[in-house]
Structure 1
């Protein structure tokens, strides 16, 4: 009897287990039948909507150039004697980039390289550049629009050399000798004029009726003095400060950072002594023309730091791609028509960074996020699919009033005011108090 009872229990359990896998045709049809049609809904959310352009950018010191010094006109061999900068040093206007044969190579602001030595009386665009550079450092040079190297320019140059601790170049020993000779000539001519005037005075006092000879002597002595004074003025100009081409390093967009140095003390300079770039980090990225039209100078962008924190940068400029003329332009148009449109360049200036961050970020490629429009904090927002247009052109959402059993769900169209749209959501506002966060709206059926 016990065996029979055990077999009965086991059989019952097996039957129950098997029944779990047996489904009737009616039940199977019910399970696989399509659900009752009804509205697809999504809740109204409270969120910040931000229209953002995403790109990538290289972090670098911009505008790297090879610095060059014109040593062809130097009177001595261009031996590097000092002031060799270290990598990372910053070249400021009026600073010393290098010392050659005991003479300074002065850093000045300008695009034109120093291609000739400048002295009083010379004129040209390089003179204007020098005067503007000196004026930018606070020196008085007179009219900066004039292209003449005049007395004021020479004096300003002399003051600059004095402040950096060097005697200015001033014509050399020959010019100094000419000045001494001219000064002696003026003294002699002055003495001769005084003697001629004294002789004329004595003749007049003695009652002489004919003093033509004495007067002629005075006139001749006066002419000699004028000539001597003219020679003195020229000699004085000859010893005014000059700017040898070997002592000037003109660089645009100062200050500049030294990236690499190829010389050391004792070397004879041949070629470029160093390469320099912008003194501050710059982020350079690229965007499409459509995005470029939305980006303006002064916008704040965001990028990640090496430790994951978010850093900021400011848009400095947006540059269109360079256009090519004639045949090149035709090729460019063909490229664009085939989908290869040229990209616009975006330059940004990072915010204040620590030395450690600068070192870690330099040379890296980062993800840039540039918000071009944003709501003022959190607003009511719905998926864009929830927004529709009424018969009068008004914007509206379909509010779920009662879900009921799907097909019989009760809804109502509510007029709203749409705002900023981004990332699939749109800002809404309504005078209807039922439009609030959490309430469901229809996004499809």
Structure 2
């Protein structure tokens, strides 16, 4: 359908003119709406009026901590050295002592255990600080004998072994019982000794007069040391038991002498360092938390610090000797990084799989012990009069200053106690900045 225009003439001119005027007016309005003066443009870019940033006062328990990095490890390893020789063969032959059954690294040695076999003979571990350095026989006395008596009393409480005194028949019977219990035979009198006793007994029976007294004296002298004996190499006294056999350096068929491995405390510990600035804040006995990268946490206690917590030079994290040991120089460099600390986990068995791995150490050095009013550190400022204050904004936007006494600061929060006539309660909004 076509729209008709007025016929040529005055009416048509008026219509066209009107349409052009309307179109021009619309275009002018659109342009005017989009064009602004410089003043209007500047006003549109002005920042909004400033407003305060506030946070709520909280009631929470604050705990102050010191953090460090540590490594799960066994106790400092100590060398394990064989002393003395095992008993000779029954026929009296003496050969170079050889390891006939080597120990296994990683096992825990307890009192009375057989560490290894040398030439078929057992080497027992007993608790004691004096090394075994001789053959012990009936009548022997000394510190090593008292250590042996103490061990027998612990291992065989029903055998009636006396607490002290020279080795007697009852103590030696207990020795024979222990050997038998572990599947070995204690060393008794040699063939020659037995023959000598029989000869002297016969001499006593046949002697008369002054010769009888001499024969009896000779027999008494032999019997004074006659009986079971313990070879110096068949007992190894260790100051502490149980211990973990960390490393073994001998094999079956090898020479049985000198250092044969290392032992360490079987209980796992955590060795680390705290920053020098934090060292004055910590002390032994403080509770701590160990956190593994997996997120698992374990309670622990700070057991040593300073020189008493320095790991042995050359020991790796799992208690084995480290390659490339730098000796004292390496220890000094480690100490320079901070103050050494050692922690004992409350449940060491749960950390067995983490030996040699790193953990985060968090030591609790203080705390409020109960819920207190706390605000972010940024909320507290010191006025010109030296009084610590916080600014509280009410619901209407009005701000009032409240004097406070600042307490423990930790984790970005500070304990506050309102002073004067002003009040401060949990939920109040305190100013921490503006925007």
SS of match in other structure, 1:48? strand
Q: Deviations over 1:94-136 (max 9, x none)?
A: 0001112221010122344434333344455444444444445
Map 1:167-206 onto structure 2 (within 5 A). 167-188=185-206, 192=208
CA contact (8 A) 2:150 2:163 kept: no
CA contact (8 A) 1:400 1:441 kept: yes
Alpha-carbon distance in 2 for matches of 1:96, 1:378: 57
* Structure 1 residues 428 and 151: alpha-carbon distance in aligned structure 2, compared to 1, 3 A threshold: farther
Task: Give the match for residue 46 of structure 2.
Answer: 31
SS of match in other structure, 2:424? coil
Alpha-carbon distance in 1 for matches of 2:241, 2:389: 58
* Structure 1 residues 8 and 131: alpha-carbon distance in aligned structure 2, compared to 1, 3 A threshold: farther
Task: Give the match for residue 181 of structure 2.
Answer: 163
* Structure 1 residues 426 and 164: alpha-carbon distance in aligned structure 2, compared to 1, 3 A threshold: same
Q: How many residue pairs are counted as aligned between the two chains? A: 387
Task: Give the match for residue 99 of structure 1.
Answer: 117
CA contact (8 A) 1:303 1:312 kept: yes
Q: CA shift at 1:348, angstroms? A: 2.0
* Structure 1 residues 120 and 444: alpha-carbon distance in aligned structure 2, compared to 1, 3 A threshold: farther
SS of match in other structure, 2:247? strand
Q: CA shift at 1:11, angstroms? A: 7.2
Q: 2:362 aligns with which of 364, 369, 374?
A: 369
Q: CA shift at 1:369, angstroms? A: 1.0
CA contact (8 A) 2:244 2:265 kept: yes
Alpha-carbon distance in 1 for matches of 2:154, 2:277: 40
Alpha-carbon distance in 1 for matches of 2:237, 2:384: 69
* Structure 1 residues 97 and 187: alpha-carbon distance in aligned structure 2, compared to 1, 3 A threshold: same
Q: Which runs of 5+ in 1 are unaligned?
A: 193-216, 324-334
SS of match in other structure, 2:229? coil
CA contact (8 A) 2:84 2:133 kept: no
* Structure 1 residues 50 and 166: alpha-carbon distance in aligned structure 2, compared to 1, 3 A threshold: same
Alpha-carbon distance in 1 for matches of 2:32, 2:21: 16
Task: Give the match for residue 243 of structure 1.
Answer: 230
Corresponding position: 1:310 with 2:306: no
Alpha-carbon distance in 2 for matches of 1:5, 1:138: 122
Q: Which runs of 5+ in 2 are unaligned?
A: 1-15, 89-94, 311-331
Alpha-carbon distance in 2 for matches of 1:133, 1:291: 45
Q: CA shift at 1:59, angstroms? A: 1.0
Corresponding position: 1:77 with 2:96: yes
Task: Give the match for residue 105 of structure 2.
Answer: 87
CA contact (8 A) 1:49 1:422 kept: yes
Aligned-CA RMSD value: 4.5
Alpha-carbon distance in 2 for matches of 1:293, 1:283: 20
Task: Give the match for residue 380 of structure 1.
Answer: 373
CA contact (8 A) 1:41 1:442 kept: yes
Task: Give the match for residue 346 of structure 1.
Answer: 342
Q: CA shift at 1:367, angstroms? A: 1.1
* Structure 1 residues 175 and 5: alpha-carbon distance in aligned structure 2, compared to 1, 3 A threshold: farther
Task: Give the match for residue 440 of structure 1.
Answer: 429
* Structure 1 residues 388 and 13: alpha-carbon distance in aligned structure 2, compared to 1, 3 A threshold: closer
Q: CA shift at 1:377, angstroms? A: 5.5
SS of match in other structure, 1:49? strand
TM-score normalised by structure 1 residue count:
0.69
Q: CA shift at 1:239, angstroms? A: 3.0
Q: CA shift at 1:42, angstroms? A: 4.0
Q: Deviations over 1:367-418 (max 9, x none)?
A: 111112234454431234555789999x87545254767xxx44143566x6
SS of match in other structure, 2:202? helix
Alpha-carbon distance in 2 for matches of 1:315, 1:137: 34
Task: Give the match for residue 422 of structure 1.
Answer: 410
Corresponding position: 1:54 with 2:67: yes
Task: Give the match for residue 198 of structure 1.
Answer: none
Q: CA shift at 1:4, angstroms? A: 9.2
TM-score normalised by structure 2 residue count:
0.70
CA contact (8 A) 2:86 2:233 kept: yes
* Structure 1 residues 347 and 173: alpha-carbon distance in aligned structure 2, compared to 1, 3 A threshold: farther
Q: CA shift at 1:92, angstroms? A: 0.9
